[in-house]
Homo-oligomer: A and B are copies of this chain.
Amino acid sequence: MNAFQDHYPDNVAHCYGCGRLNKSGHQIKTVWDGDETVTRFTPEPYQRSVPGLAYGGLIASLIDCHSTGTAAAAMYRQEGRSLDTLPAFRFVTGSLRVEFLKPTPIDGPIEIRGRVKEIKGRKVIVETTVMAGGITTARGVVVAVQMPEAFGAA
């Protein structure tokens, strides 16, 4: 129970990318590493673009959920609260930008590292770097927005 996603309230823990209750999804796990956040994910062989390389949509998805998780953790940290305290912080994506720099090898773990660039009211801007096989293959910027109350009500 150390990852940010382990503390998402049950009603908002169904996301395909990061919900621990979504049995079909990626179930990514993100943790602090000093001032950075880290997610490590090993793709399945079918999550490819061409044989040997990871699918760009997967990279975008990992950046997306890594960043909303980072945004939540950053808000807890700013308030000096631990992740298991209420009310819970949970974020959605306002915008996502990915620059694909190089092909991402599929035959090993992909590491996403994030940094909080700015916290402004209900918005958090997170910058990420994607590494695989020792090389930086993509960069991302996400504007994460605190989730409206209605989102978890269904």
Question: Is the C-beta of A32 less than 8 angstroms from some C-beta in chain B?
Answer: no
Question: Is the C-beta of A94 less than 8 angstroms from some C-beta in chain B?
Answer: yes
How big is chain A's contact interface, by range?
35 or more
Question: Is the C-beta of A57 less than 8 angstroms from some C-beta in chain B?
Answer: yes
Decide if A15 touches B49 in the complex (CB within 8 Å): yes
Decide if A49 touches B92 in the complex (CB within 8 Å): yes
Instruction: Give the residues in chain B near A103, CB-CB below 8 Å.
Output: 151
What's the minimum C-beta distance from A28 to chain B, rounded to whole angstroms?
10
Known: A14-B51, A57-B62. 19 other contacts (CB 8 A): A11-B50, A14-B48, A14-B49, A15-B48, A17-B55, A17-B56, A24-B44, A25-B55, A49-B151, A50-B151, A56-B61, A56-B64, A56-B93, A60-B64, A60-B96, A93-B100, A96-B97, A96-B98, A97-B98
A-to-B contact residues, CB < 8 Å: 11-12, 14-17, 22-25, 44, 46-53, 55-58, 60-62, 64-65, 92-100, 103, 151-152, 154
